[in-house]
Structure 1
Amino acid sequence: MTNERDREAAARVFLGKTIRLLSGADSQPARRIRLRGQRKPIGRYPSLKAGRGVKWEAIHEQHLMWILEADANVVSYLEQPYTLVIQRPGERDLRYTPDLRCVMWDGTGEVIETKDTPEEFEDPEYARKLEIAEQVFHAEGMVFRRLTAVDDIDVEPRLSNSRLISGHRYTFVRSLDELKLREAIDAAGGTLPYGRAIEVLSATADRWDVLARARLHALIVRRVAAVDLYQRLDADALITEAPRRT
């Protein structure tokens, strides 16, 4: 995919329609979100994985960013990554920009569209645009996902776990912390209890050490370690090494 702004990255014909797929320059969004003069909730999320502030324009998008930050399967992500231009002879072009694109641990890409409820996906013209978008992204080797706040994003305990873990993303960690945690996970046979992982990172081997817990969370965001975000984050929750390409 080219990284030149507003340059045609792909052109195909689906069901008689010419499709152009545009991307931003230098891994920047294809569509800019303006933070001023808006009446809806908008903001900027300082992302460690993205290496910059990622803009959101719905509360559930912000929540999804917490999840992506804490999910060790996700390497990086970008908001408003592409704009599809669907050309219709004699009519105005249709344009569609998805909410996010994720690069996963195995190198695959996922493109995500989000709404609050499933009913919001039912508008016929909008649904048709998403159907075409899914075909285009599939042809580009990417998975296209439709997520809703009620069914996929604001789900507990994953949401609360993600907020807690991602909240410690900028905690300072040393190379020694990473080495100690990797060695402890390996010595335990590949899975280490959450409480024990905190002890390993604590200067006093204290599982209640607040700083050690923050370091563990920072190492999860940095994809040194991983945790199942759907499990209760107690002393017995299992910590593993983050998945990596071989």
Structure 2
Amino acid sequence: MIRKITNGGRKVIGKFPSQKMGRMVMWESQIERDYIYLLEFDPEVISFEEQSVCVRYHDDRDSKIHRYTPDFLVTRVGNRVQVVEVKDDKTAKSDDCRQLFQRVAPVIYREGYEFMVVTDSMIREQPLLDNVKLLQKYSMIPISDSHLLSLNDILSNRENMPFGEIVGLMGSRGFLKQEVFALLRHGILSLDLRKEINNTAIVTCLLNSMKCGEEKI
């Protein structure tokens, strides 16, 4: 079941405008917010939901049934569904958390899900995180047919091109650098986000797995 996020006075509460999900996604910590950035840009992630499931498990220490609400339910390509807990490294290694994870993991696996504990050191890998945060800023810039036609002309005889060269050629046609970032944000252009975005970064066009601007037959 979906549990509404409430503010107990100790956690930061915020909303992330997810294009992938078509709605605002709630987060309760800065680490969760940063993880949402990664989910939003991960091409293998089909969908994700925050605190949408409740796991019941037995604790033999008091012989009672307890409830555990993980942070995210993530659906990936290949119909893989992951139950994800987001924690800082120190908390994840604490005795309480390790015992909790040992109790809930078998229940989750029996239901056919994967269980993952994702820590801040895993999430805040650089320059990946800074890159996706940069591209997110250009989410609201619309993409027009003129963008696609220009890309088709520029990349008609090339499979890829350095970022700086694309910016220059698009600029000669009246487009701004921000619009090239928007093309990256919307998945029309692609580059390796685990490397620094600079003028030498190699960019490819992924629109419909065809040349940019070509009409699908």
Equivalent residue runs for 1:47-86 within 5 Å: 47-86=18-57
Q: Does 1:195 align with 2:164?
A: yes
Distance 1:40 1:174, change over 3 A: same
Counterpart in the other structure of 1:238: 202
Contact 1:171 1:214 in 2 (8 A): no
Equivalent residue runs for 1:3-152 within 5 Å: 24=1, 30-35=2-7, 38-87=9-58, 91-117=63-89, 119-149=90-120, 151-152=121-122
- How much does 1:181 deviate? 5.0
Q: Does 1:167 align with 2:137?
A: yes
Greater RCO, CA 8 A, separation 6+:
1
Contact 1:72 1:225 in 2 (8 A): no
C-alpha distance in 2, partners of 1:32/1:128?
26
Tell me the amino acid that sits aligned with residue 157 of structure 1: P
Distance 1:228 1:137, change over 3 A: farther
Deviation sequence 1:199-235 (CA, Å, 0-9, x none): 56x363478x233223223323xxx443322101112
Q: Does 1:213 align with 2:185?
A: no
C-alpha distance in 2, partners of 1:183/1:105?
33
SS at match of 1:131: helix
SS at match of 1:77: strand
Deviation sequence 1:120-170 (CA, Å, 0-9, x none): 123444323323433344444443221211x21122211211110122222
Contact 1:199 1:212 in 2 (8 A): no
C-alpha distance in 1, partners of 2:146/2:198?
25
C-alpha distance in 2, partners of 1:43/1:164?
18
Contact 1:198 1:216 in 2 (8 A): no
Contact 2:55 2:108 in 1 (8 A): no
Counterpart in the other structure of 2:123: 153
Stretches of structure 1 lacking an aligned partner (at least 5 in a row) = 1-23, 25-29
Stretches of structure 2 lacking an aligned partner (at least 5 in a row) = 209-217
Tell me the amino acid that sits aligned with residue 68 of structure 2: Y
Aligned pair count?
Answer: 208
Identity of aligned residues (%): 25
Contact 1:77 1:102 in 2 (8 A): yes
Report the RMSD for the aligned CA atoms in angstroms: 3.3
- How much does 1:112 deviate? 1.9
Q: TM-score, normalised by structure 2?
A: 0.77
- How much does 1:33 deviate? 0.5
Distance 1:142 1:63, change over 3 A: same
SS at match of 1:164: helix
